[in-house]
Amino acid sequence: MPAGLAPGPRVGPSSGAAPVTMGADVIVVGAGAFGCNAAWHLRRRGLEVLVVEAVDRPATQATGAAAGFVAQFSSVHHSEWGEVEWGMQRYGIGFYADLAGRCGRDIGFCPCGIAYIYQSREGWERAQVAIEAARALETQLEALTAGRASEVVPEIRFERTAGTVFDPTAIRLRAGDAIAALAAEVALQGVRFEYGAAVEALLGAGEGRIRGVQTSRGDFVSSRVLLATGAWTRPLLARVGVQLAAEPVVVARYTTRPLAGIRRQMPMLMFSDSEHRFWIRAERGGLLIGGADPKPLPDDRRVDAALPPFVHQLPGDHAIRMRENVRKVEDILPALKEADIDEIKAGMPCYTDDRLFAASAVADVEGLYVLAACNEAGITHGPALGRHMAELITDGETELDGSRYDLARLSRG
């Protein structure tokens, strides 16, 4: 086990550590994108917040592996996301732009825009409905001409594509660095972080009223607990008899060494009608590359949802396959010819059938809340979901229609 990862976010028996009885208005469990965004918004509403995190620092798990695409994905990238998510995506873009401006750290922020590339005429024609729907939401999708493509994305050979649309409002960031910066900011604002404290039990859940959490470093008390524990939310809820129908799946991506001809401002690229739906962006002079496997899901991407491993225990096979698969589009992006693997990172986003999040109170356990089921989009939607949870926890009134993300829909047998 790498230094700093003990004791780990496993749900296991108590280590018998000396009890601590630190209290807070609300305990947020997990210091990933969801937990830190929730902590920021809760603090802004004046609450005393304690973040309890199993490992020794923030943003190490799915958040540390994320590719950092933040864009108005509604309808153009995912048909399941509509107007509600569109507003959340817009909030996320603004939130991270502000964070980049004020945090004084390099979080890899770049307002580079995003280009959706279609390789086949059929794919391009089929996409028109989704493109029009996105435009109806006011996403600024510009269909590129050859002349504009040579200005906006000179890295690609436009003549090898069937069509490309460009959204200039999208941003990219290094998600792990951005969320670590957010954690540092909320710590300065008075949010307390208890690292190396793996939650093992939810105190009071059996009696229907949360009293706090039992961790590997003792107990922490609060009448409100928010679980923002990524892939580990499902086993934690299972312990109190609550089902969460969200499947953790291994997603790996890789970065290359610096490559000739890749500009820092290169828009993020989505190969939207490729069977692999490659997503590629500039990173430190090279590229960051990921994509999908055709179905069925290979075994190396499956994990035991009841006992999810740490990210450092995840295999990188998915990224190794992508290195080979991405050769299929090197006629469009010639830099891919040299795009060998320098570093692989993997995480476990959790997917729901409806591709929507779990962001609600837990019925039957007063004071227990959940923010999970990220559907591989928790960086983008994290700020708005964090705001939503802060509203729900402080006064119960939320701007978003909470029923859309109610855990109950994922808890039916």
Q: Decide: helix, strand or coil at residue 229.
A: coil
Q: Is 72 in the site for ligand FAD (CB under 6 A)?
A: no
| CA separation, residue 59 to residues 55, 144, 177, 187, 379 (Å) | 9, 36, 8, 14, 11
Residue closer to ligand FAD (CB basis): 89 or 158:
89
Q: Is 380 in the site for ligand FAD (CB under 6 A)?
A: yes
Looking at 31-39, 118-126, 180-188, 202-210, which segment touches ligand FAD (CB under 6 A)?
31-39
Q: Which of 7, 68, 113, 383 binds ligand FAD (CB under 6 A)?
A: 68
Say which residue the tokens 């591989």 belong to.
Answer: 376
Instruction: Convert 87-136 into a string of H (helix), E (strand) and C (coil).
Output: HHHHHHHHHHHHHHHHCCCCCCCECCCEEEEECCHHHHHHHHHHHHHHHH
Q: Is 112 in the site for ligand FAD (CB under 6 A)?
A: no
Binding mask 252-291 toward ligand FAD (x if CB under 6 A, else -) reads -x------------------------------------x-
Q: Is 89 in the site for ligand FAD (CB under 6 A)?
A: no
Q: Is 204 in the site for ligand FAD (CB under 6 A)?
A: no
Q: Is 205 in the site for ligand FAD (CB under 6 A)?
A: no
Q: Is 248 in the site for ligand FAD (CB under 6 A)?
A: no
Looking at 112-120, 180-188, 378-386, 393-401, which segment touches ligand FAD (CB under 6 A)?
378-386
Q: Which residues contact 385 (CB under 8 A, 6 or more apart)?
A: 34, 37, 38, 88, 357, 359, 371, 378, 405
d(CA 107, CA 111): 12
Residues 344-363 that bind ligand FAD (CB under 6 A): 347, 349
104, 187, 85, 62 alpha-carbon torsion, rounded to 10°: 90
Q: Which of 26, 27, 33, 269 binds ligand FAD (CB under 6 A)?
A: 33
Closest by Cα among 116, 108, 91 to 37: 91
For residue 157, give the amino acid letter.
R
Task: Dig out the tokens for 301 from the structure.
Answer: 């991407």
Q: Which of 108, 212, 218, 230 binds ligand FAD (CB under 6 A)?
A: 230
Residue closer to ligand FAD (CB basis): 158 or 166:
166
Q: Is 169 in the site for ligand FAD (CB under 6 A)?
A: no
Angle between helices 175-188 and 378-394 (to 10 degrees): 30
Question: What phi and psi values does residue 94 have, to the nearest 5 degrees?
Answer: -65, -40
Report H helices in 139-224.
Answer: 146-152, 175-188
Q: Is 95 in the site for ligand FAD (CB under 6 A)?
A: no
Q: Is 377 in the site for ligand FAD (CB under 6 A)?
A: yes
Closest separation in Å from C-beta 327 to ligand FAD:
20
d(CA 368, CA 28): 10
Q: Which of 100, 171, 181, 228 binds ligand FAD (CB under 6 A)?
A: 228
Binding-site size, ligand FAD (CB under 6 A): 40
Q: Is 34 in the site for ligand FAD (CB under 6 A)?
A: yes
Looking at 26-34, 136-144, 332-340, 355-363, which segment touches ligand FAD (CB under 6 A)?
26-34
Residue 7, preceding bond cis, omega within 30 degrees? Answer: yes
For residue 217, give the amino acid letter.
R
For residue 91, give the amino acid letter.
Y
Binding mask 287-326 toward ligand FAD (x if CB under 6 A, else -) reads ---x------------------------------------
Residues interacting with ligand FAD, by CB under 6 A? 9, 11, 29-35, 52-55, 60-63, 65-69, 198-199, 228-230, 232, 236, 251, 253, 290, 347, 349, 374, 376-380
